[in-house]
Structure 1
Amino acid sequence: MTTDPLGNARFITARADRDVAPRFSTEVDLDRPRSQVTAAVLRATAHGVYEARIDGRPASDSVLDPGWTAYEWRLPYQEHDVSDLVASGEGPVRLDLVLGNGWYRGDLGFAAANANYGEVISVAALLDIAYADGSSQRITTDASWSAVASDTTRNSLYDGQTIDARRRFDEGAPLGVREVDIDRTTLFQQSGPPVLRHEIISPVAIWTSPSGRCLVDFGQNLVGWLRFTVQGAEGTEIEIRHAEVLEDGELGIRPLRAAEARDVFILSGNEDSFEPTLTFHGFRYAEVSGWPGELAVDSLEAVVVHSEMRRTGHFACSEPLVNQLVHNSVWGQKGNFLSVPTDCPQRDERLGWTGDLAAYAASACFQFDTADFLDDWLADLLVETAHSPDRGVPLVIPDVLKYADFPADFSMPPWAAAAIWGDAAIWVPQALWIAYGDADRLAAQYPAMKLHLESVERYISPTGLWDLGHQLGDWLDPDAPPDQPGAAKADPHVVATACLYRSATFAAEAATIIGETEDAARWAELAERTRTAFNAHYVDGGIVTSDCATVYALAIVFGVLDDDDRAFAGARLAEIVRDADYRVTTGFAGTPFVTWALSETGHVGEAYALLLETGCPSWLYPVTMGATTVWERWDSMLPDGTINAGEMTSFNHYALGAVADWIYQVVGGIRPAAPGYGRVRIQPVPGPGITWAETSYASAHGTVSAAWRTDEGGFALEVALPDGLPAEIVLPDGRVEQVVGGVHRLTAAH
């Protein structure tokens, strides 16, 4: 029999306005003096987001608990050690729980989807106290708790938060409290990392816009909120609006679509401190109105918020624009790895689009330790897929869009099984396996792989091609019209069939690793049938149907082509890249792989030229325009400084930053030669335009670093390895050195 982790704690709600964040409280006399407390643990969770305080002090450093999951089947509870808080006070213990809408009642989605898990938010908590004499005491939530409206009178992840400091002195009338029944089998102890405050960033400039508005620049596109302490006349309202960019000298709010991204702070007349922790914004710029007196750079600060992740990968090279591109990738990941891996953090969307992560997972795993974060998300992917009508991977995880109430003039196409998006069920575990080598987690992730491939099998035609059903294809091809992001050059079925081959191939490998031998044979056979069909129907003398960069990149990197055709395809891809004057011509599907396809077929010069191009569209064009995160579109901002007219125009979307994986492994030269970096390959491939690079990766075995430079004297490489770690060092002249641990310095001629 399973013990309920929250014991007899009841989920409670209050009869309050939908915008109000109620504050639940209880005050309890302890059975023993506080000095006799030896341990105290608080367990809590919510349908919504909660903040717990003991005697007015925060119970933990985490924010936006319990985060966002597939609430129908998985509701994490948090366990906080509050021993010091309970033991250090005097008299009765006071517990407060503030409850916000969060993701549960967040009106989530786009195009007025207003998707919610339910209309009743609730919170439950249990405080276990142990005393020196061996006795214990338990305090739990129930209908006897009191509730009032907190100082938060409006809270929405998209629209922002209103905090009325006057309510800190006048709590107002009590709110009715009642208990709520939920499915307690959904409870589990939180396995993903908490959401925490990280960097604190001060303004770099404050000025008056052409229309007379006060604007603040923090110098970095970030995710979080503003925090400050101020004093002014009672009832004064300070309004802060947030945006990622400026347009015509004013706050560029059009890309936010329906999201207000607006916080309001009402002063009490005393010195008031404000921090809107029941929302978050994606922004670099803020517009401040109503500030009492003169706003100075030390008046307020930006708090960076994201899930806890240890930084593992670092890179620097001789080209500052590439360094900024890597910086942008890192900050894009930080901003979008907030409870779940989202597409963007600022507009009325912020959803866990599977395709974005499928493209980016390898880069993400090098930059940060994402093992726990992505494993937790994949657990949501499994339950959402298992419960979806066709047992196919939804486009977003958690799949809140199943609750969308789209207006009559908007409809979502029936993407029952979509290449790249659905392939996240396999590509993300593949990235985790390569980065961390955890076979137990691979086994836990395998059922979703199987569900995905079985759902795809229904859309394979008698030809053996995945050419039935709807596809998103090479999404955001730069040659597509702004209002038709799916109108790519690459045939979506060519893309889908190549992706199926990659997925079936790794599923066979995964099944072998975890001992599912029958499945391994099944997926290996599917892979071979797919490969045969691809070559029979889509390849003619090395020319791949659609004859564009994306199809060649996928066919080469996924290993679909025969050797002769692969060499031809590499040469053809290089020709396409040259003919485009090294401007990017790929979308979501091709972008992570195009430089890989070039360098792996011997066209290193073209790969470097593609990376280093600064004209639009290119990876470095946004950098030249001042970007500090990766953009959704290659031209989210046009060269004249105006914002792209498309409805989808975000300035913090990590997917197109997936080239970072190639930068780390090929330019930087650090590659895993065995799962979890149990063995490494150091193989930097220098190319024109970059004369030195330094890369490091903090693996489970210790930090691996590689630094190389070229000059008139040739190529010089220095490698540092943890003790006992075997490595294969491949020099540009083809020489291979087998080493174990230590520092190694090698040279090669040009």
Structure 2
Amino acid sequence: MINVTRCGIHAFHEVLGIDTDIIRFFWVFHSEHENARQTAFQVVVALTISALDASDTPGHHMVWDSCKVDGDEQRNIVCHPGGGFKSASFHYWRVTIWDQNGNTTSSALNEFFTTYPRSSQLLPQYSMNQTYMPHSSLIFRTWPIVFASGLGHFNFSCNGKLNSASGHVLDPGWTNYHRTVQFVAYDVSDMLTEGENVIGAHVGTGFYAGDQGSDRFFWPKYEDNTYVRYGNELCFFAEIHLLHEEGSHDCITTGPEWKIRDSATSLANIYSSETKDFRAYPTRWDAPGFIEEDGWRAATPVTGPRGKLKYQSQPPVTLQDIFKPVSRKTIETGVITFNLGQNASTMIKIEFSGPIGSEIIIRFSETVDHYGKVLMLDPLFKQIERGVFCKVTLAGPGVETWEPDFCFTSTRYIQVEGVALNADVNLPVVHSLVGRHVSSTARKLGSIEIDKEDVSALIKMCYWSFIEKFGWLEVTHLLAPSTQYIRDMETLYSKILDDIFDAQEPNGLVPTIVLEIRYMCGPFHDTITWGGSTHVFEKMFEPCVRYMEYLRTKERCGGLIGHGLGDWGHDIAFGSNQANIETAVYYRSFYTSRDDLKTKDRNMVAQAVALHFELVPAQYIGDYRIEAGEISLKLVWNTLSGIDRPEIVLKMARQEEHPSYMRFIRQGETTLNEFWQDACRSMIDIIFDRKATERGEEIQIDVAVPTSTTGYLSITPQ
């Protein structure tokens, strides 16, 4: 007997806003019988559950029927109804499969909700042009689905419950807003009450209309120090679809009858800086019974971005693990540092009380100095210590809770200024503080535990180590193989491909950062090993061809590629082994060095490129120590794996001094750093993460089996 355990639609993590007429189904089945297999399947889609149950007698509510199809396919089952899907409607579907004995089993009921085609797919005429979306009272008893988007980011509220309809934060996904604007769908039927109901949203700048702030730091002055601004006015739109019990359907849209007001959050810099004055916060503004006073005004239309509307199909961002401080220290009167014990991308939550008008500063850091104060080790980014912070003004006198509305950061240490731990000092009192890990909801696939303590610690570090903001495409291709062992990445990578498609320049170049938060130049804008990360799907074939045609214009000396960032993370990072790395990736078969003949072509990086592409005779292959950065280390370890020498990988990782993975652990780090350094500017980075994760598959592991014996297996995850 086989059972269908999971079903879904490819490229859609959530399914409340399907905006295409062609979708692809998949399913997973399980059986206790070793030789069980699927021999046929049938998928049926209908507008009602009753029609689905009566699929053998098709009616006008039947949308699509694959009929019985012989085969063992479980993925990429294309569904393309002749007349398309019905707009703004629930659709129900079920798969039935046959096993080798002719037995059938059906999946549980599945559903999705559609949007509707628009000829232009542009934003509606009326959008919100400030930060608080309307306080609009709706009296109904319905089943409402809400489509909404607020740029840059927005927090959706229903009846005073912020983000409770979804649990999302930082909606919608970051895009090139000139090309694409994502919207989010919410089912709020369980949140409604009899009588008055209120829909609202709080909107902040995000990446759309970024504001550095007059007293904040964003980027060193060696280059242009401004955001890429896609727009100047915040905007919001929503459609509320009311599906009545008798079958009728109403739609309420944002417009001039909705009300707005300025936010108490006056600065919402995505780069860890916010300013909020609780004195200006209209308590319960988004709840029934609120009386609109001065400051509320009618919404007015604005010129929003021209990007086409697209459903947010990638996994949303949510708050996950909670970090309670492992220690706290009063550095000086009014300054307290909290150690969360784990470096991670975090949105904190803090409770404090104090007199009206009290001003509190919150700073974030991955490391601290010997006094316990926040510390940035890189002189180039030294301003982060004083120029990246959140400022909160209390309304007093009771306990007030602050959490960032639209910003997050990588942090282990929280420095709070202008407060005390108890009321003995004439300062506001901190009652509690926690960190909350903010990350993708991509489905977790598995984990691994082994009896080697240092290797287990390294695997744990990899879970927390990733770049948390900028859209460097190095992350895309360096992390792709390893993260797929840990998370279901399909929908996220589908979104990244769309971003690459939107970002490609007229000459074919794919920028190093997609999407761009700030304009970069030189190799930070054009690097093969970081910028050319495209996967050949039908949609991406032409962009891939255009990118290769662009690279052909950059050849020199008969075909060498000499521009780019080379082997970032090794030596001084910039320009290390450029010709080796960039040219080898370009050709995937070519080895040379124009950097420093007879010197740099004799180091590990240069040799690994040749080894990886099988250009070195076997008798010349020997043991190595780490002398590589983020790009070439992949080639070094792939090479060692190819010659069946995983013990060398472990020996390299366990070196006492840098370059060494275990050196990070011995120094007390909880994440992997950007460079092979003790005093590193970025202590949460993907550079060496994916190598450690992937190479974990090559280590011999003791496996406890459910018998009286112990098995010793060398396993390779598939």
If the length of structure 2 is used for normalisation, what is the TM-score?
0.72
**Would you say the 8 A contact 1:6–1:125 is kept in 2?**
no
Pick aligned residue for 1:628 from 659, 670, 680 = 670
TM-superposed deviation, 1:622:
1.2
Query: Against the structure 1 CA distance between its residues 591 and 232, is the aligned structure 2 distance closer, same or farther, given a 3 Å change threshold?
Result: same
Pick aligned residue for 2:351 from 206, 209, 229 = 229
Pick aligned residue for 2:611 from 550, 553, 556 = 556
Q: Which residue of 2 is the match for residue 353 of structure 1?
A: 472
TM-superposed deviation, 1:414:
6.1
Q: Which residue of 2 is the match for residue 78 of structure 1?
A: 184
Secondary structure at 1:247 match in 2: coil
Q: Which amino acid aligns with 1:655?
A: I
1:418 aligns with 2:527: yes
Distance 1:500 1:568 in 2: 27
1:27 aligns with 2:125: no
Pick aligned residue for 1:486 from 574, 597, 607 = 574
1:265 aligns with 2:265: no
Secondary structure at 2:522 match in 1: coil
1:447 aligns with 2:535: no
TM-superposed deviation, 1:227:
1.1
1:303 aligns with 2:436: yes
Pick aligned residue for 2:227 from 103, 107, 114 = 114
Q: Which amino acid aligns with 1:351?
A: F
1:570 aligns with 2:621: yes
Distance 1:325 1:219 in 2: 16
Query: Against the structure 1 CA distance between its residues 138 and 471, is the aligned structure 2 distance closer, same or farther, given a 3 Å change threshold?
Result: same
Q: Which amino acid aligns with 2:569?
A: L
Q: Which residue of 2 is the match for residue 204 of structure 1?
A: 326
Q: Which residue of 2 is the match for residue 373 of structure 1?
A: 492
Distance 2:518 2:675 in 1: 23
Pick aligned residue for 1:96 from 190, 200, 205 = 200
Pick aligned residue for 2:565 from 448, 472, 477 = 472
Distance 1:8 1:462 in 2: 49
Pick aligned residue for 1:133 from 229, 239, 246 = 246
Distance 1:653 1:420 in 2: 17
Q: Which residue of 2 is the match for residue 319 of structure 1?
A: 452
Q: Which amino acid aligns with 2:394?
A: L
Distance 1:231 1:378 in 2: 47
Point out where structure 2 has 5 or more consecutive residues left out of the alignment: 1-115, 213-217, 284-292, 424-428
Q: Which amino acid aligns with 1:455?
A: Y
Pick aligned residue for 2:587 from 485, 501, 510 = 501
Deviations 1:450-483 (A, max 9, x none): 23222222223473x3335x22111221x33xxx
Q: Which amino acid aligns with 1:665?
A: E
Pick aligned residue for 2:267 from 142, 148, 154 = 154
Pick aligned residue for 1:189 from 304, 311, 321 = 311
TM-superposed deviation, 1:212:
7.0
TM-superposed deviation, 1:315:
2.5
TM-superposed deviation, 1:566:
4.2
**Would you say the 8 A contact 1:23–1:98 is kept in 2?**
yes
Deviations 1:298-343 (A, max 9, x none): 712111111212222422333322222211111114xxxxxxxxxx
Distance 2:508 2:475 in 1: 21
Query: Against the structure 1 CA distance between its residues 416 and 218, is the aligned structure 2 distance closer, same or farther, given a 3 Å change threshold?
Result: closer
If the length of structure 1 is used for normalisation, what is the TM-score?
0.69
Deviations 1:507-538 (A, max 9, x none): xxxxxxxxxxxxxxxxxxxxxxxx3xx36x66
More helix as a share of residues: 1
Distance 2:518 2:687 in 1: 21
1:3 aligns with 2:136: no
1:246-265 superposed matches below 5 A: 246-249=368-371, 250-253=373-376, 257-259=382-384, 260-265=387-392
Query: Against the structure 1 CA distance between its residues 136 and 201, is the aligned structure 2 distance closer, same or farther, given a 3 Å change threshold?
Result: same
Q: Which residue of 2 is the match for residue 458 of structure 1?
A: 553
Distance 1:29 1:601 in 2: 68
**Would you say the 8 A contact 1:107–1:115 is kept in 2?**
no
Q: Which residue of 2 is the match for residue 395 of structure 1?
A: 512
Distance 1:97 1:218 in 2: 31
Pick aligned residue for 2:280 from 148, 167, 173 = 167
Pick aligned residue for 2:422 from 294, 305, 308 = 294
Point out where structure 1 has 5 or more consecutive residues left out of the alignment: 17-21, 334-343, 405-411, 430-441, 503-530, 638-642, 668-685, 687-691, 695-705, 722-726, 728-750
**Would you say the 8 A contact 2:334–2:420 is kept in 1?**
no
Distance 1:24 1:596 in 2: 53
User: More deviation in 357-366 or 219-228?
Assistant: 357-366
Q: Which amino acid aligns with 1:413?
A: G
Distance 2:432 2:477 in 1: 41
**Would you say the 8 A contact 1:596–1:662 is kept in 2?**
no
Q: Which amino acid aligns with 1:156?
A: N
1:330-729 superposed matches below 5 A: 330-333=463-466, 344-345=467-468, 350-385=469-504, 388-402=505-519, 412-413=521-522, 417-426=526-535, 442-461=537-556, 463=558, 465-467=559-561, 470-477=563-570, 479-480=571-572, 485-488=573-576, 490=577, 492-502=578-588, 531=589, 534=590, 546-557=601-612, 559-561=613-615, 565-568=616-619, 570-571=621-622, 574=623, 577=624, 582=625, 584-635=626-677, 637=678, 643-644=679-680, 649-667=681-699, 686=700, 692=701, 716-717=712-713
Distance 2:202 2:667 in 1: 42
Query: Against the structure 1 CA distance between its residues 375 and 131, is the aligned structure 2 distance closer, same or farther, given a 3 Å change threshold?
Result: same
**Would you say the 8 A contact 1:474–1:495 is kept in 2?**
yes
Distance 1:105 1:629 in 2: 31
**Would you say the 8 A contact 1:544–1:551 is kept in 2?**
no
Query: Against the structure 1 CA distance between its residues 720 and 656, is the aligned structure 2 distance closer, same or farther, given a 3 Å change threshold?
Result: closer
TM-superposed deviation, 1:358:
2.4
TM-superposed deviation, 1:597:
1.4
Distance 1:77 1:628 in 2: 36
Deviations 1:49-108 (A, max 9, x none): 11121222234311111021121111111011111223x2423x3222211011112258
1:238 aligns with 2:360: yes
TM-superposed deviation, 1:208:
2.0
Pick aligned residue for 1:48 from 132, 137, 152 = 152
Query: Against the structure 1 CA distance between its residues 609 and 166, is the aligned structure 2 distance closer, same or farther, given a 3 Å change threshold?
Result: same
Q: Which residue of 2 is the match for residue 57 of structure 1?
A: 161
Distance 2:203 2:484 in 1: 33
Distance 2:452 2:132 in 1: 53
Distance 2:333 2:657 in 1: 32
Query: Against the structure 1 CA distance between its residues 8 and 49, is the aligned structure 2 distance closer, same or farther, given a 3 Å change threshold?
Result: closer
**Would you say the 8 A contact 1:231–1:292 is kept in 2?**
no
Query: Against the structure 1 CA distance between its residues 46 and 364, is the aligned structure 2 distance closer, same or farther, given a 3 Å change threshold?
Result: same
Query: Against the structure 1 CA distance between its residues 113 and 264, is the aligned structure 2 distance closer, same or farther, given a 3 Å change threshold?
Result: closer
TM-superposed deviation, 1:621:
1.1
| Equivalent pairs, count | 567
**Would you say the 8 A contact 1:567–1:601 is kept in 2?**
no
**Would you say the 8 A contact 2:465–2:685 is kept in 1?**
yes
**Would you say the 8 A contact 1:125–1:140 is kept in 2?**
yes
Query: Against the structure 1 CA distance between its residues 378 and 79, is the aligned structure 2 distance closer, same or farther, given a 3 Å change threshold?
Result: same
Query: Against the structure 1 CA distance between its residues 707 and 221, is the aligned structure 2 distance closer, same or farther, given a 3 Å change threshold?
Result: farther
Deviations 1:695-725 (A, max 9, x none): xxxxxxxxxxx989xxxx998228799xxxx
TM-superposed deviation, 1:155:
1.5
**Would you say the 8 A contact 2:462–2:693 is kept in 1?**
no
Deviations 1:245-298 (A, max 9, x none): 112222114655555442233332233222212111211001112336529997
Q: Which amino acid aligns with 1:622?
A: F
Distance 1:107 1:588 in 2: 32
Q: Which amino acid aligns with 1:500?
A: Y
Percent pairwise identity: 22
